[in-house]
Amino acid sequence: MLEFTPDQQMIREEAQRFLREQSSSEAIRLIVDTGASHDAGLWASISRELGWCAMAVPEEFGGLGLGATEVAILMELTGARLACVPFWSTVCLAAPLLQSAGSEPAKAKYLGAIAAGEMAVTVAYADLSVADPAATVAVKALRTDGGYRLDGKVAQVIDLEAADIVLVPAALEDGATALFALARDAGQSVAPLEVLDRTRPVAALELAMEVSAESRIDEGCVSAGQFREALAFANLGLAAEQLGAAQGAHEVTLAYIAERVQFGRTIASFQAIKHRCAKLVVEIAEARSLIFGAAQGLGISDAAESALEIAGARVLASDLQFRAAEEAIQLHGGVGFTWEYDPHLYFKRAQANAALLGAREAQLDRIAASVFGDGGVK
């Protein structure tokens, strides 16, 4: 059967309480309106004091050695509050890649720093919009006497400004993929992009630089399987965030319609509106079940089966997040499309997330290829 352990339940309750206080609408707007890369105070609390980044890092590297379920719980809750912190990029995108493809010294150094809450890390995948972003590589790595020369441009890197380290997959001359870790002042160019979703910053990365041999951190090149393993975790975390953001948008909406009076009654009393809210609960239930079912099985069940469940979770979560956000706007009526009220923040995050790591069609194609057993239609 499927339920949280008492420890997981406790993590959930405490995180929920903390984020309600610390990632309020006012706090988010401070970031959104000033154009800051992230909420540095909140990030310090989350990473250093609360130890959330240590959850899934193995104990040998200073982490708590917990699993995907704990991370999904925290992703759900940061999503619900649109917390402006590089949590997903560090914990779901970068840490699993370090874990699956990093050399032992690199793991000790970077995973240790992540677990200690001392480091935000992101990954410069060439194209984050496809289900397999490691299939193409935008950066070339040429061996030099002292190390490597890196050249290339990555159009969009999430949380790049906030990251202390960016991991860069780069193609070697023989076509294999190596992984480099660059500190923020290593000589790369970072150009922040003006984006619709200001709760999660994106920047372009340009590399034309020499790096030392020590910057290369993979254990004899990164295989497609290692990328896949890391990306499964990123996708699962993203799905959980989408679930949370949907729940957050829904709660904002329920609070508003319970107060708004028209025709002498709250608009929450109209059946047309009740049914729309109830349908969202149906979709939330569906997405939550698949996300936490997949989280519980990740690393235990067959990896291919887990990947399919995560693909399905992304489909449901992407549909759900957009639906919840558009319903938030519609049910707020006139104020729903103003800057002052929160629905637009959820709406923009929904669209931005839907395009990440494979849109629903790509996820469904993966599932179909397996269900039909034909590897997909060419």
Amino acid at 3: E
Confirm if 242 and 321 have CB atoms less than 8 A apart.
yes
Of 97-105, 161-169, 277-285, 328-336: span binding other proteins (CB under 8 A) = 277-285
Tell the smallest beta-carbon distance from residue 343 to other proteins (Å).
18
Cα distance between residue 135 and residue 191, in whole Å: 24
Is 368 one of the binding residues for other proteins (CB under 8 A)?
yes
Of 56, 6, 51, 19, the closest CA to residue 248 belongs to: 19
272 belongs to the binding site for other proteins (CB under 8 A)? no
Closer residue to other proteins, CB minimum distance, 31 or 316: 316
Question: In the complex with other proteins, which residue's Cβ is closer, 302 or 361?
Answer: 361
Q: Does 365 sit near other proteins (CB under 8 A)? A: yes
Segment interacting with other proteins (CB under 8 A) among 54-62, 200-208, 225-233, 287-295: 287-295
Q: Which stretch binds other proteins (CB under 8 A): 27-35, 92-100, 228-236, 363-371?
A: 363-371
- Is 185 or 378 the residue whose CB approaches other proteins more closely? 378
Q: How many residues bind other proteins (CB under 8 A)?
A: 43
Phi-psi region of 375 (alpha: psi -120 to 50; beta: other; left: phi over 0): left
Residue among 11, 53, 287, 357 that touches other proteins (CB under 8 A): 287
Residues with Cβ within 8 Å of 161's Cβ and at least 6 positions away in sequence, in order, are 37, 38, 190, 192, 201, 203
The Cα–Cα gap between 299 and 96 comes to: 12
What phi-psi label fits residue 84: left (phi over 0), alpha (psi between -120 and 50 degrees) or beta? beta
14 binds other proteins (CB under 8 A): no
Please give the Cα distance from 18 to 36 (Å, whole number): 22
Per-residue tokens: 328: 């938030």
35 neighbors 97 (Cβ within 8 angstroms): no
Q: Which distant-in-sequence residues (6+ apart) come within 8 Å of 17 by Cβ?
A: none
Among 189, 212, 269, 301, the residue binding other proteins under the rule CB under 8 A is 269
Give the residue, chosen from 63, 96, 117, 312, that forms a contact with other proteins under the rule CB under 8 A.
Answer: 312
361 binds other proteins (CB under 8 A): yes
Helix (H, G, I), strand (E, B) or coil at 295: helix
Decide if residue 330 touches other proteins (CB under 8 A): no
107 φ/ψ angles, rounded to the nearest 5 degrees: -60, -45
Q: Which of 173, 334, 340, 377 binds other proteins (CB under 8 A)?
A: 377
Task: Note whether 374 binds other proteins by CB under 8 A.
Answer: yes
Which letter does DSSP use for residue 335 in this model? G
For every residue of 308-329, DSSP letters joined together read: HHHHHHHHHHHHHHHHHHHHHH
Candidates 108, 204, 277, 359; binder of other proteins (CB under 8 A) is: 277
The yes or no reply on residue 282 touching other proteins (CB under 8 A) is: yes
CB 189, min distance to other proteins, A: 40
Closest distance to other proteins from the beta carbon of 342 (Å): 19
- Of the residues 11, 121, 211, 290, which one makes contact with other proteins according to CB under 8 A: 290
Contacts of 186 (CB under 8 A, 6+ apart): 209, 211, 215
> Closest CB to other proteins among 228 and 360?
360
**Cβ at position 5, least distance to other proteins in Å:** 11
Sequential DSSP letters for 359-370? -HHHHHHHHHHH
3-class DSSP state of 298:
coil
Q: Is 17 in the site for other proteins (CB under 8 A)?
A: no
The nearest distance, CB 250 to other proteins, in angstroms, is 9
Least distance in Å: CB of 163 to other proteins?
Answer: 33
**209 scored as a contact of other proteins (CB under 8 A):** no
In the complex, the residues that contact other proteins under the rule CB under 8 A are 1-4, 9, 254, 258, 265-266, 268-269, 271, 274-275, 277-279, 281-282, 284-290, 292-293, 308-309, 312, 315-316, 361, 364-368, 371-372, 374, 377
